[in-house]
């Protein structure tokens, strides 16, 4: 895979992250997620040739790469189609988990971190260090969000 195709995949993932809605209902207990780097690696390995063939020269901004792959879905290799679908589902779950983690951990943070000032990741740091007393639901949300 060429360096430009890899860069396009990475930009696609970053663009997707910023385009996802801010609030989505989420069941963290069933989610499996991947980091953005893992997702880029998956797509680069499975879709590199397809990106070079169908999306060469596509401007990366505003979800254009994702749109290009979607518009050319019928021409994509089977491996790329499968990986594309699975990867974007896992990325969406990661984004949803990051949105939901504070809500899902609210009871735990009030119980275990009541003296910690909110902001700058201090509450998350407190919850991560108090892992033994944290609920299963909160621990799963933290894992799905990629914080552990």
The neighbour count for residue 143, using CB atoms within 10 Å, is 16
Element (H, E) at 13: helix 3-19
With pLDDT > 90 as the criterion, what percentage of the chain qualifies? 18
- For the question of whether the overall pTM of this predicted structure is more than 0.85, the answer is no
pLDDT recorded at residue 70:
87
Per residue in 22-62, pLDDT (tens digit) is 333 333 334 478 877 888 788 889 988 998 999 888 765 56
If one counts the domains in the chain, the total is 1
List, for residues 5-18, the tens digit of each pLDDT value: 555 555 555 554 44
**Start-to-end C-alpha separation, the chain:** 31
Instruction: Look up residue 100 and give its two tokens.
Output: 């939901």
Domain span at 72: 3-144
- Put residue 117 in one of left, alpha, beta given phi > 0 → left and psi -120 to 50 → alpha: beta
Quick one: average pLDDT of 110-126?
A: 84
């Amino acid at each position: 895979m060429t360096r430009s195709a890899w860069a396009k995949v990475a930009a696609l993932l970053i663009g997707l992250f910023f385009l996802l809605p801010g609030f989505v209902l989420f069941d963290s207990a069933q989610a499996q997620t991947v980091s953005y780097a893992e997702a880029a690696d998956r797509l680069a390995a499975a879709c590199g040739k397809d990106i070079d063939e169908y999306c060469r020269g596509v401007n990366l901004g505003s979800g254009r790469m994702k749109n290009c792959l979607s518009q050319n879905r019928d021409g994509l290799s089977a491996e790329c189609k499968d990986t594309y679908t699975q990867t974007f589902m896992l990325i969406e779950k990661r984004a949803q988990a990051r949105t939901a983690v504070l809500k899902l951990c609210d009871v735990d943070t009030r119980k275990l971190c009541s003296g910690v000032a909110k902001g700058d990741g201090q509450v998350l740091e407190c919850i991560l260090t108090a892992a033994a007393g944290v609920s299963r639901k909160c621990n799963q949300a933290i894992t799905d969000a990629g914080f552990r």
